[in-house]
Amino acid sequence: MVLDPFTLCGIIGTGCIIFAYFAALQGWVAATHWHFPALNLAGAAMVLVSLYDAWNLPSVLLESFWGVMSLYGLARSVRGRT
């Protein structure tokens, strides 16, 4: 089975989001550390890329908000506020 690039991008993005959440639950990374929102932002962006090929409005809204929240978290962690 060969996956098209959009589907592969979405799968990798989903993996990023799941891994970030699991890493936070395991205590491997703090949710306030820049790695957590950066990984979530990368995942949301990749899922959004996959949705270009397989449009789904609820998923676009979810990933867009996920990305905005991740940008906010990334900005806070870079500025040093927790």
Q: What is the DSSP string of 44-76?
A: HHHHHHHHHHS--HHHHHHHHHHHHHHHHHHHH
Q: Which tokens in the block code for residue 35?
A: 């790695």
Question: Is 0.75 surpassed by the pTM of this model?
Answer: yes
Q: Which residues contact 44 (CB under 8 A, 6 or more apart)?
A: 13, 17, 63, 64, 66, 67, 70
Q: What is the pLDDT of residues 31-80, one digit of tens each?
A: 999 999 999 999 999 999 999 999 999 999 999 999 999 999 999 998 88
Counted domains in the chain: 1
The answer to whether 42 and 16 have CB atoms below 8 angstroms apart is yes
pLDDT at 81: 62
Please report, for residues 13, 31, 51, 67, the alpha-carbon distance to residue 27 in angstroms, rounded to integers and kept in the order given: 21, 9, 31, 22
The boundaries of the domain holding residue 21 are 5-79
